[in-house]
Structure 1
Amino acid sequence: MTVNTTSPAATVEKSFNADQAQAQARLLFQDSARWIADNWLQVLVALGVGAAIVVVLLVVRRWGVRLCRNDRAGWGTVAGRAVARTSVFFMVMLAAKLVDGYASAPPMVTATIEFLFTVAAVFQAAIWAREVILGVVERRTASDHYHGEALASAMGLIRLLVTFALFSVALIVVLDNLGVNVTGLVAGLGVGGIAIGLAAQGIFADLFAALSIIFDKPFRRGDNVSYDQTNGSIAEIGLKSTRIRSITGEERIISNKNLLDKEITNNSRREHRRASFVIGVTYQTDPDVCARIPAMLREIVEAEQRVFVRCGFVGFGASSLDFELIFDSPGVDYAAFYDGRTAVGIAILRRFNAEGIEIAYPTQVNMTARADGSIVDPAPAAR
């Protein structure tokens, strides 16, 4: 035996709601028929104007499609994509809204047009905003100075997040215009968003770090970077982590958030590489010869096609008179810098040998004293 659990009150309420909806639909139809019969000329003119407005909007949408094809890398593409996503329903409701007052439509028809126009306008605005945001992201990553490999893996999630956020706001606005109390819905979405954010905060932190890499562009794939004790080239920038090929051959993987928290040196954006030598000459070197050493070293550096920075006397060492030489090698190529530094060092050695300047090395001299404390010459003059 089947038991009917529906209460009589609920049945009456449902029947009442259905009858009320049918009555409103019948009233709308009757008012519309009476209005068309009494104002047929104004209605025809309004329909003609509305059709012309729709045609103009269709032409504008077609122009947006053509703009996307012709301007593939500029801001015109972003605007064209938004215009091209304009819906026909929005065009029709916009035209109806513009010509509504001309034909003196009855209140029921006006209210219906107002409601449909609100729905169309709100969701169309969400579509436009989504296309503009995604277009800006794609344009930033498609520039000549960035490969956009992070976008390839992140674009699906970015599109999902942007679409969910914009259409949630659009839905709330529509419900609010219908007179629905959306306070509970907004609170529920807020609590749900906080819960999701706390549960996946690590993933979102790395995702936003990846977006920071996209927009701020501290490095790109192929750049040679250094952080902490790691030095290598960027192999891949992913949604959650970045892979770095170390100079010793192994692949190092670090999360995007942890990587951006460090001080990163991008060696690929150097204007030059700097080298320095500390050269010590013996204490027996003549002071006049020491005075000529900075100019001598400058000639050597410039002869090797390097950029002289500075050179001078820096101190009295334990076994030497110390001079410091600083010079730059133009460009970022480490191999060229390495070879240039070697060439400068060998050229210094040749020049010092030719000039008779002795490069010092650690030495010790033992002195013998007489009983009265006077020093015995360790190398007495030959007799």
Structure 2
Amino acid sequence: MDFTLNELFNISPNLRSLLTDIAIVIVILGISYFILKVGKNLLLRQLRKFTRKTETDLDDQIIEIVNKHIIPIGYFIICYLTFKEIQINETILGLARTFLSIAITFCTSRFLVDLSRVVIKFYSKKYHYSNSIVEKNIDALFPAIRVVIWTLAGIFIVSNLGFDIGAIVAGLGIGGVAIALASQGILQDLFSYFAILFDRPFEISDLVSVDEFTGYVQHIGIKTTRIKALTGEELVLANTDLTNSRLRNYKRMQSRQAKIKLGIIYETDNSLLPKIPTIIEQALTPLENITFDIAYFSEFGDFSLDYEVIYFVHSNNELKIYRQAQHEVNLAIKFAFAEAGIKFAYPTALHYVNQVK
């Protein structure tokens, strides 16, 4: 069987048309990539000249994100528009369009994720005090933003695949209500997570007290918050429990009030009683991180004359400073009382015995 060259090419006109379309597409995509590359370099060069004159580094970081993502996004868009105009097999064309639509959505979502991370980091640096706290706050907020972006991207992809989102949601019916009721606790924790992040009742590394638990905040998650207790163990508390509780944040205070109740024996000389507040004040005034407030005769106890001492410790978030201050205050009062000849009371009972003749 002999075939001429002309017969070989005429054996399938559709194949020749397909090959021609493919060649045209390759040429268009190649030229488009070159133009996109050159245009990107020219645009970024001008933008970098402008951003060098600004004081903030936010615009520089945004330009780097654009530089990272503009080529993939732009090239996939060009591919989508090119395949949309050519005439080839509808099945192949539909698959190509679907793939390119998913690719554009994926690249755009990555761009938005990186952009949100940079913006959150800039906001954190502007309103917080240390780089370590900034990074931890980003770790707390960024997962929620990322979940929202990728959820929207997934909905868009499902819609482009030909599924009716409205019909799917409506078709859930009672099953959707049951799922919503079952996930009610999770949704409450999620909303509480956003309340914690935006209202900021506490932050990473803050010393907080919830009910009988006290410790340092280590991690703020979407459902739970982890606290390192002062006793060493890790506490895992639901975000809803934290937002519904009366929480104490010790980092926000400038100083901490402390009270001491002292009891001296009833046999103390009356001339010493008015001097005791002055003796206590003189003992506490030289101490560091201590501000004396008042000392006074509070009440007659069962076996002692009771005095109450109030002072302030400038410890902020450092519990160790507060405890060290308590130690120094107790020693100072003990030494001052010993020097003045004042004796502390201890539980005693006096029994009267009548002799029976």
Per the shorter chain, which TM-score range?
0.5 to 0.7
Bigger CA drift: 196-205 or 207-216?
Answer: 196-205
Render the CA deviation track for 1:120-178: whole Å, top value 9, x for unaligned.
Answer: xxx9xx99998876654443445545334464476455235246549979x99xxxxxx
What's the counterpart of residue 313 of structure 1?
Answer: 297
**How far apart are 1:239 and its partner, in Å?**
3.3
- Name which of 200, 225, 231 aligns with 2:214: 231
TM-score for the superposition, normalised by structure 1: 0.55
Q: Alpha-carbon deviation of 1:250? A: 1.9
Which of 366, 369, 383 aligns to 2:351? It is: 366
- Partners of 2:308 and 2:192 lie apart in 1 by 43
Aligned to 2:337: 352
Q: Equivalent residue for 2:202?
A: 219
Cα distance, 1:229 vs. partner?
1.8
Given that 2:112 and 2:149 are in contact with CA atoms closer than 8 Å, whether structure 1 keeps it comes out as no
2:190 pairs with 1:207: yes
Aligned to 1:302: 285
| Cα distance change of structure 1 residues 88 and 312 upon mapping to structure 2, 3 Å threshold | same
| Aligned ranges 1:315-354 → 2 under 5 Å | 315-331=299-315, 332-354=317-339
Query: Once structures 1 and 2 are overlaid, which stretch shifts more, 187-196 or 320-329?
Result: 187-196
User: What letter matches 2:299 in structure 1?
Assistant: G
Q: 1:273-319 CA deviation, whole Å, 9 max, x = no partner? A: 33222112222333332111111111111022321011111111111
1:161 aligns with one of 127, 131, 148: 148
Code of the residue aligned with 1:289 in structure 2: it is L
Matched residue type, 1:309: D
Letter in 1 for 2:303: S
State the alpha-carbon separation in 2 of the partners of residues 329 and 233 from structure 1: 19
Partners of 2:321 and 2:120 in 1: how far apart?
38
Partner of 1:147: 134
Amino acid at match of 1:313: F
Q: Distance in 1 between matches of 2:58 and 2:249?
A: 29
Q: Where in structure 2 are there 5+ consecutive unaligned residues?
A: 1-37, 76-104
- For 1:140 and 1:80, locate their aligned partners in 2 and report how far apart those are by CA, in whole Å: 17
Q: 1:346 to 1:259 in 2, by over 3 A?
A: same
Q: How far, CA to CA, are the matches of 2:339 and 2:74 in structure 1?
A: 88
Question: Which is further off, 137-146 or 248-257?
Answer: 137-146
Distance 2:180 2:122 in 1: 28
TM-score of the aligned structures, taking structure 2 as reference length:
0.58
1:88 offset after TM fit, Å?
Answer: 7.0
Contact 1:234/1:242 (8 A) holds in 2 = yes
- Work out whether residues 140 and 220 of structure 2, in 8 Å CA contact, stay in contact via their aligned partners in 1: no
**Aligned-residue CA RMSD (Å):** 4.8
1:363 to partner: Cα distance: 2.2
CA contact (8 A) 1:67 1:77 kept: no
CA distance in 1, matches of 2:118, 2:171: 30
Deviations 1:231-260 (A, max 9, x none): 222233333322222222222222333333
1:7 is matched with none
- Check 1:211–1:141 CA distance in 2 against 1; reply closer, same or farther (3 A cut): farther
Partners of 2:55 and 2:222 in 1: how far apart?
Answer: 25
Structure 2 residue aligned with 1:278, among 238, 256, 261?
261
SS in 2 for 1:285: coil
CA distance in 2, matches of 1:75, 1:322: 62
One-letter amino acid of the counterpart of residue 145, structure 2: I
Cα distance in 2 for residues equivalent to 1:276 and 1:137: 43
Specify whether residues 238 and 276 from structure 1 end up closer, same or farther in structure 2 by C-alpha distance, changes over 3 A only. Answer: same
Amino acid at match of 1:344: V
Amino acid corresponding to residue 286 of structure 1 in structure 2: D
Q: Percent identity?
A: 26
C-alpha contact (below 8 Å) 2:303/2:348 kept by paired residues? yes
| Whole-Å separation in 1 of the counterparts to 2:307 and 2:318 | 27
Distance 1:185 1:336 in 2: 59
Q: CA deviation at 1:76?
A: 4.6
User: Could you say which residue in structure 1 is the equivalent of 2:243?
Assistant: 260
Over 3 Å counting, the alpha-carbon distance change for 1:280 and 1:270 in structure 2 is same
Q: In structure 2, give the amino acid aligned to 1:161.
A: V
Which of residues 249, 258, 266 is equivalent to 2:232? Answer: 249
Q: Partner of 1:30 in structure 2?
A: none
Unaligned runs of 5+ in 1: 1-54, 90-122, 173-183, 372-383
Secondary structure of the residue aligned to 1:298 is helix
CA distance in 2, matches of 1:153, 1:361: 52
Name the CA shift for 1:74/1:270 in 2 (closer, same or farther; >3 Å): farther
